[in-house]
Every structure is written in structure tokens, then in C-alpha cells.
Amino acid sequence: MPGKPNVAVFDTTFGMAMEPYAYLYGIDPKYYEKYSIRRYGFHGTSHMFVSGETIKFGKLPEGNQRVIVCHLGNGASISASIGGKCVDTSMGLTPLEGLIMGTRSGDMDPAVVQTIANGENLTVDEVLTILNKKSGVAALSGVSSDFRDLEEAAAEGNERAQLALKAFKYRVIKYIGSYTAAMNGVDAITFTGGIGENDFSVRADVCKNLEYLGIKIDPEKNSVRGKKVQISTEDSKVKVFVIPTNEELAIARETVRVAGLA
């Protein structure tokens, strides 16, 4: 298409707003300078869209709105933003860091790579393939990476499936707690992604452990799937929402802005 502007929207753009103390790893800065090793964060297009929609839909007071977005699906990540600007996000140099996911291990002591490589006579690349494609709730449960299958198995008494679900929710709760501390509070928490939008039991269990923040969930409102809704009660100190993500719309908006089409 000669003469037409070309626009690239990067999934890591949202995380580029992080401060150096948040995105640098505790290693010699020469590796950042030489190889650009830092925390980038992924699902950025989704986090940018949903954090913005949270501010608008939740009618949060203008200013430094503190929002935590839980993008929960087969790939899962959590972000913290103030006034729509990313403060922190759970994924790092690659999407492997952060939460336990469908087939990804999430946060892990790096020495595990060495231990498995030496013990199983594998290369680093082969171990990373295991951590990316043969780990997560699929490996913990021995059932599936699909949460519908996990919950069905857990309901039937499968202890490994029950453990996998608990481990996943536990990590989500930990990240929300740490990001609340990092922002010195939180005004709204939003669930999105395939699990976040549709699995009301995950939302309920996560929020149950956040009652110390003054969060109260309305069970009836929380029973919805895939709809934009406030699931917290009116007297909840922190607003909690379900907002379906729309990365295509976010990309279109960025294209209009960058190409000067507005």
C-alpha cells in the first residue's frame, strides 16, 4: 500500500513507563547496556486498554488513580498503574516471569534451571522449553492447562488439580498485595482475560483474601461472565470490576493517534 502510513504497536510499550528501580534486575548493569536485559512486561496492550477503561467505567476521581489489572488466561499477568501509567507488571524479559500460568512456570529460583539441566543432562534451551511449554498448572495438575478441566477435576476430588488451582490463586493474591504496597494503596482492581472475565470462582477466592483492604464482593454481580460490571458492593473501600479486554480496539486507537488520523 504505497503512500500509506505503517504503524507497529508493541505489546511491551505499556511497561516502558516503569522506573529503573522497577525494571532493572539485580545484576551488573553492563548486561542491560550490552543485551538490553530488563523487565519489559507483556500483555501491555491489554493492560493499557483495561486500566484506561477502569478509570472511565469506574468514574475514579481525576488524578493519580491507582489501578491493578489482573489479565488472567492461559497466559497471565498483573499490572499496577497510577493515572494510567505503568508502575510495575509481573512479566519480565520474557513472558515466563510472574504468575503460574497454563504451561509456564512463572517466578522461580534461576538455580532450578541449572539443577534440572545437570540432573537430566539437558541444555539450558531444553530446560527453558520445559518451563515455557510443559510446566504451570498443566504440569502441577497432570490434567490440563484449561481451567474448566481443572475445576471439574478438582470438584471430583483430584488433589493435584486442587493444588494447581490453589497455587495459581495464591500467586495472584501475592502480586495484588505487593502492588498495593508499591503504590501505597489501590483504588480499583479489575479482572480481564479468559479466566478473569469468565471464572467467577477465581475472582471470589482471590477477593476473599483481600478483605483486609476493605473489599466486599456482591455474589450476584460476580456471577456474570464476559460482561463489563462492578462486582464489589457500594460500601467496598476498593472498587472491583470485570472488564473484557479489547486489544484490537486498543491497537486501532493507537494507530489513529500515531498516524494523526483523529
Segment 85-99, tens digit of pLDDT: 999 999 999 999 999
Say what the pLDDT of residue 132 is.
Answer: 98
Task: Using the CB atoms, write b or e for 52-66: b if 16+ within 10 Å.
Answer: bbbbebbebeeeebb
Mean pLDDT of 233-248: 97
210, pLDDT greater than 80 = yes
- Report the C-alpha gap between 192 and 208 in whole angstroms: 18
Listed by start position, the domains of the chain span: 14-258
Say what the pLDDT of residue 116 is.
Answer: 98
106, 98 contact by CB (below 8 A): yes
- Report the C-alpha gap between 231 and 242 in whole angstroms: 7
Say what the pLDDT of residue 246 is.
Answer: 96
Say what the pLDDT of residue 2 is.
Answer: 87
Say what the pLDDT of residue 14 is.
Answer: 96
Tens of pLDDT, residues 6-31: 889 899 999 999 999 999 999 999 99
Give the pLDDT band of residue 130 (cuts 50, 70, 90).
very high
Say what the pLDDT of residue 260 is.
Answer: 80
Q: Nine-digit cell at 129?
A: 522449553
Say what the pLDDT of residue 259 is.
Answer: 85
- Report the C-alpha gap between 73 and 160 in whole angstroms: 19
261, pLDDT greater than 80 = no
> Which active-site residues does the annotation give?
11
Give the pLDDT band of residue 63 (cuts 50, 70, 90).
confident
Nearest by Cα to 209 from 169, 162, 163, 164: 169
Say what the pLDDT of residue 150 is.
Answer: 96
Give the pLDDT band of residue 249 (cuts 50, 70, 90).
very high
% of residues, the chain, pLDDT over 70: 100
Q: Nine-digit cell at 182?
A: 508499591
- Report the C-alpha gap between 203 and 217 in whole angstroms: 9
Say what the pLDDT of residue 258 is.
Answer: 87
Say what the pLDDT of residue 121 is.
Answer: 98
Mean pLDDT of 132-159: 97
What is the assigned CATH class of domain 14-258?
alpha beta
Mean pLDDT of 34-63: 96
